[in-house]
Structure 1
């Protein structure tokens, strides 16, 4: 898709991720043992043939720059086009009005790009999607904007703080609403859309001139009756990482082989920053069942139904159950962890017991000593 420009919109963070975003952007929250949330949207764009990708940042963007670098792991380190990190239009966070402020601040980037269409996506809706199909549906409908949605059951999923799409029989969008009333089936807007670049630039300029600064509310919803806005249904696996509860829930679902294969391999591979580390070392007497364990870990104790990121050290007599242990954590001898999320570089001293609940896991912030 040489005619499509990819925009990863990171202007709005997810505040309900709390401790996981104190020192990083939502896009770089670790997930699945060795990945970051931004890896999924980056990989989807590259797998769909998009060779020009820009990341619109807002705050804590040093972690984004450190992770994605030149884009080499995603084959985006080109002499022409490739990966672009676009810093905030205004570094004063108190004067930030909305994501359109960042779009408006980088209009020159859009004017220099030769692509006709733009795909805009956030990073907290993680899935494995072929954008070629979305663009094809957009062109066939002669749409001005095409939004991507997923049919979900509000009785089984926490769909609060999301935007629900109402679609007519011809897939035209009738309405998009926030703070919806619960009902059995909801068409959840996945914060992904296709639009012609020239139309996007026109709408951004017009909105900002009128002091409107929200892409969804003021570009899409406000123009539903003025533009041809259509919907595309995504039927694959979707994980919405917008709260600690959802982060834990969807992380644990990766322990189901079918979900793991679907998310990371179908229809394309998910790529991440490469770190050369040795294989996992299992000491005599170690026991690991139904868990994901990344490179560089040293296991001397027991690990059950858990996810261990790179370089985790599990001492003798340690029992870890139903937990997520991020990169380079150390759990010393005879400690016990159940329903716990440890952020990076946490040190748990000998004999400690950390206990959470399935709906409310205990979260320990980065670099803590317990």
Structure 2
């Protein structure tokens, strides 16, 4: 493909509450065996983008560990490959990333030393499949300066979490509002952009001179009447991990057969780092219905409409309903859990009850592993 990739994975999302206390949103576990960033990386690989930069900053340890080997996404190559960029103190700059545009500007040498004519910019916290070649073809056909991948969402969904756009009949963007209180459209930006590399360098340098740091506010919105900015509509599944509710719902969507088939069975595949773990073990008394259970789990109780990540232990006579149990959790006997997200590496004592009544409850014990 005639493009290089940039994945923005360094932001802090306060709407994720305790879930991003020790990890970036892009490192959030998804669908049992994946991390959120796996979807953007897999799309890059499947679109034959051979050079990809991941810009990390906030709570990046878990994310960097996950990206420690590029072979899982087929980026272990002599030409191109996977690059991890973090904020770097230099003689000219001692700032952390102050926004998405500033993150790209601080790594402008990566763009200047590359030769690909186009750049695909994607967010690291979205769940989707997309062939970026089709977006690039559309970008060239429209003779666009910037192409924004967008999607129409249902009238009942909260659009205030997204950038809302309005296009004319030719799909040229006429209005772009970032997280409006009252939206005039149900078409949102997915945070995926295609732009010519030289133009991106020019815009980033101009933003830096004017102390502007945000890609959406200082480029897309500011230049919408000066540049040819077009929208490319995607119709397939897309969701963004922007709050606890959206994270919970995205995981629950994988309990639907059509969603699992689309991501796990239909070509192209989604790739992730593989752990060498034994298959899940179902002991006498285990009763599992409509759930995803990952490798390394040991089950003794009842699990219904839930997702269990790797190395989860469910004790005797436990009941788990409509919940997400993250990695390496020990749940003691006779524990009842409903409408909850259990943080990873937690130990829940026996005979406890955790119920999310109005909102999804996050259980964050932050304790040491002990013998029950």
| TM-score of the alignment, normalized to the shorter chain, above 0.5 | yes
Q: State yes or no: 1:86 paired with 2:104.
A: no
> Within 2, Cα distance between the matches of 1:74 and 1:90?
30
Alignment-derived partner of residue 130 in structure 1: 131
Q: How far did residue 178 of structure 1 move?
A: 2.3
Alignment-derived partner of residue 226 in structure 2: 226
Q: Deviations over 1:22-48 (max 9, x none)?
A: 011111011111111100100011011
Alignment-derived partner of residue 278 in structure 2: 278
> Within 1, Cα distance between the matches of 2:349 and 2:19?
22
Alignment-derived partner of residue 243 in structure 1: 243
Q: Deviations over 1:76-101 (max 9, x none)?
A: 11222100001124599986432222
Number of matched pairs: 367
Instruction: Give 1:21-170 correspondences, 5 Å limit.
Output: 21-89=20-88, 96-155=97-156, 157-170=157-170
SS where residue 164 of structure 2 aligns?
A: strand
SS where residue 195 of structure 2 aligns?
A: strand
TM-score, structure 2 normalization = 0.94
SS where residue 6 of structure 1 aligns?
A: strand
Alignment-derived partner of residue 11 in structure 2: 12
> Within 1, Cα distance between the matches of 2:34 and 2:46?
17
98-107 or 211-220: bigger deviation: 98-107
Give the 3 Å change call, closer, same or farther, for CA 366–79 of structure 1 in structure 2.
Answer: farther
- Compute the RMSD of aligned alpha carbons: 1.9
SS where residue 250 of structure 1 aligns?
A: helix
Alignment-derived partner of residue 269 in structure 1: 269
Give the 3 Å change call, closer, same or farther, for CA 89–160 of structure 1 in structure 2.
Answer: farther
> Within 1, Cα distance between the matches of 2:304 and 2:326?
15
TM-score, structure 1 normalization = 0.95
Q: Tell me, which stretches of 5 or more residues in structure 1 are unaligned?
A: none
Please tell me whether the aligned partners of residues 336 and 353 of structure 1 are also in contact (alpha carbons under 8 angstroms).
yes
Please tell me whether the aligned partners of residues 164 and 185 of structure 2 are also in contact (alpha carbons under 8 angstroms).
no
Please tell me whether the aligned partners of residues 165 and 185 of structure 2 are also in contact (alpha carbons under 8 angstroms).
no
> Within 2, Cα distance between the matches of 1:18 and 1:325?
16
Instruction: Give 1:196-211 correspondences, 5 Å limit.
Output: 196-211=196-211
Give the 3 Å change call, closer, same or farther, for CA 90–150 of structure 1 in structure 2.
Answer: farther
Q: Tell me, which stretches of 5 or more residues in structure 2 are unaligned?
A: none
Alignment-derived partner of residue 256 in structure 2: 256
Give the 3 Å change call, closer, same or farther, for CA 324–93 of structure 1 in structure 2.
Answer: farther
